[in-house]
């Protein structure tokens, strides 16, 4: 068997990592998972390695022994209330410097392919109507998180240039599915409670990716001969407006969607008065990605529909199968 190695998110139980782990196990693929010392690992996780820290000096020798492929998921992600004196440096410590340390060690130990999970935010925060992001678009990171990921992409390309280790970069949009937290879980709770949302006048389109579709693509990137040296955008292949997302969630929850019309200018004014401009901007703006190059280049298609992905997520929240 080939040995697949992935790094779980160091913040307790990695959302993507835990799903990837189960997918590898179900396919009988050998792997090694890494978590921080003291973090709770998923039950049944095989080949577990614990490391005391993730930084520019981490010793990866044991974790990378005999590994052929690295899927790097660990990151410092967006902080709702960032208390760091220098947020960019805090993001760089994990997303840039620790990533480079892992990649250097992987290269030295003969790893053949390094798969780096970045973010679509490297390309920007929103798209114009019918102008989705494409993999070859110029980078336009606008916050500290996206900047650190963009810097990591550039540093990794420089590191592998002329060497034998192949680099694959995957840039997902918002990921959802069983176990999701933060804003997406909050939206589900609001819809479940029947709280009316003033979003009926929003006419945007956003790309999302269900966790099963992201894991499917990551596994394809470990195996496909043409993946090396490429950037891939990923999504469910079906974009939704924010009101449509609320309707789909309501359907999955078995209840009506409660949307009422408030003009966009009214939403923006309320956002300014309450200091929630960023949240309202995400709800109202478009962010689309074109995955046609991904599908063609890897002979891949998202295996799970949006409706089914949302159903699985809601069922997990309900504790039902």
Longest CA pairwise span in the chain (Å):
58
Alpha helices in 140-276 (DSSP H): 144-160, 182-192, 211-223, 242-253, 264-274
If DSSP codes are grouped into helix, strand and coil, which group holds residue 290? coil
Active site residues: 145
CA torsion sign for 187, 266, 124, 241 is: positive
Give the integer Cα–Cα distance in Å for 5 and 63: 8
* Residue 170 in tokens: 């995957």
Dihedral of CA 99/97/183/134: which sign? negative
Angstrom distance (rounded) from CA 234 to CA 173: 7
Crossing angle, helix 277-284 and helix 264-274, to 10 degrees?
Answer: 160
> How buried is residue 201: exposed, middle or buried, by Cβ count under 10 Å (0-12/13-18/19+)?
middle
Contact 234, 217 (CB under 8 A): yes
Q: How far apart are CA 217 and CA 104, in angstroms?
A: 24
């Amino acid at each position: 068997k080939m040995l697949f190695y992935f790094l779980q998110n160091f913040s307790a139980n990695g959302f993507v990592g835990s799903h990837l782990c189960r997918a590898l196990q179900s396919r009988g693929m050998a792997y090694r998972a890494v978590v921080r010392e003291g973090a709770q690992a998923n039950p049944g996780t095989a080949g577990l390695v614990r490391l005391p820290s993730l930084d520019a000096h981490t010793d990866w020798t044991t974790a990378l022994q005999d590994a052929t492929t690295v899927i790097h998921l660990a990151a410092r992600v967006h902080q709702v209330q960032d208390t760091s004196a220098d947020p960019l440096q805090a993001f760089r410590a994990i997303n840039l410097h620790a990533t480079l340390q892992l990649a250097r060690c992987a290269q030295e130990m003969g790893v053949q392919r390094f798969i780096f999970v970045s973010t679509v935010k490297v390309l920007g925060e929103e798209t114009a109507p019918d102008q989705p992001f494409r993999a070859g678009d110029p980078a336009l990171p606008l916050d500290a998180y996206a900047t650190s990921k963009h810097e990591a992409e550039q540093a990794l390309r420089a590191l592998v240039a002329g060497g034998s280790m192949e680099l694959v970069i995957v840039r997902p949009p918002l990921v959802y599915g069983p176990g999701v937290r933060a804003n997406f879980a909050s939206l589900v709770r609001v819809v479940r409670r029947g709280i009316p949302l003033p979003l009926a006048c929003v006419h945007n389109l956003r790309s999302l990716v269900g966790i099963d579709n992201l894991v499917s693509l990551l596994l394809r990137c470990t195996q496909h001969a043409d993946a090396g040296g490429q950037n891939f955008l990923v999504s469910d292949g079906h974009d939704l407006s924010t009101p449509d997302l609320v309707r789909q969630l309501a359907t999955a929850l078995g209840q009506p969607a409660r949307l009422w019309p408030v003009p966009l200018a009214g939403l923006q004014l309320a956002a300014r008065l309450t200091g929630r401009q960023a949240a309202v901007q995400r709800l109202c703006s478009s962010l689309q990605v074109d995955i046609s190059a991904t599908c063609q280049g890897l002979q891949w298609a998202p295996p799970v529909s949006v409706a089914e992905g949302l159903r699985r997520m809601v069922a997990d929240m309900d504790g039902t199968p």
